[in-house]
Amino acid sequence: MMEWRDLLEHRTKNQLMRLQDDLLLFNEGRLTIGARGWIEPSIEGVRTRVELVPRHLPDRPQTQSLIRSNKVVPKYFDVASVQTELAPGEILMITCTAPLTALWKDDISEDVTEDTPVEVRETDVEEPSAAIESVVMETPAEDPEKKPIQRLGHIMFMTPALSSERRSQRTALLLIPRIPSGMLPGEKTAPTRNQDNG
Amino acid sequence: MLTVLIPEQDGLDGLIRQNSQPIQSDEASRRLASESILIRILKEEELVTVLSTLEGGGAAQNTLGAAR
């Protein structure tokens, strides 16, 4: 998978999205998570390196020029990009964090209204040795009609509840690398090469 | 690639974290979490167990499809 491939796609139309401290509005187009991967040697053995870059691809060029050719220029979200490596037998799981409090029990409408975000640090109590991952959550709006603007992960990975009887669902992508057996170290250790002095 | 749908429930983040490992870069994990993206590493040999655990925790998994 050396070439970029879209793992997930979300159609946008007047879609609001919060990115860091910014507020973005997307016209018709699609939000995607592009990925590519390759096998590379490392000190510990062979590894699969995976790169993920979310982006927005508008359906039409932003600027209409009558002279120059109009190209669709994707907007890349570097802040949500990541590169990591996987050892043989490891799977990369990509999903979203917990949705905004209690909203997952209701239909999460795209027709949302801005409110003030508050950063909350969430300690991983079940895994003390693991890194503390901060989660930016937004305070519930004072007006129940108002819903906070979603971030990239929730837009891409959350499927809102379609009815009161059915819960929202998280999409989880599982990337399972395949390393050709010839590239894996053998079960038996290779014989030590003796230096031939003669 | 496998796509799995997990019904939302209280404590699902903790359940996922408990059954997986962080990626190498803490900085990247935090940065992605700030944009509400959770990225973790699972062991292939434990995949069935992990999915069963999520199922046992009330998060029935549903595989949409598999493609390589």
- Tell whether the model's pLDDT for residue A185 goes beyond 50: yes
pLDDT band at A103 (very low <50, low <70, confident <90, very high): low
pLDDT for position A76: 95
- A170 touches B: beta carbon within 8 Å: yes
* Of A101, A141, A174, nearest in space to B39 by CA: A174
Strand partners, A93: A174, B40
* Of A98, A91, A178, A163, nearest in space to A137 by CA: A98
Q: pLDDT digits over A126-169, tens only?
A: 443 433 344 444 444 445 556 788 999 999 999 887 777 677 88
- B49 touches A: beta carbon within 8 Å: no
- B56 touches A: beta carbon within 8 Å: no
Cβ pair B38:A94 closer than 8 A? yes
ipTM of the complex: 0.85
Q: pLDDT digits over A13-44, tens only?
A: 999 999 999 999 999 999 999 999 999 988 88
Residues 54-73 of A with CB under 8 A from B: none
Render each residue's pLDDT in chain B as its tens digit; 68 residues: 889 988 888 888 999 999 999 999 999 999 999 999 999 999 999 998 888 887 665 544 444 444 44
Residues 122-141 of A with CB under 8 A from B: 122, 124-127, 130-136
pLDDT for position A111: 41
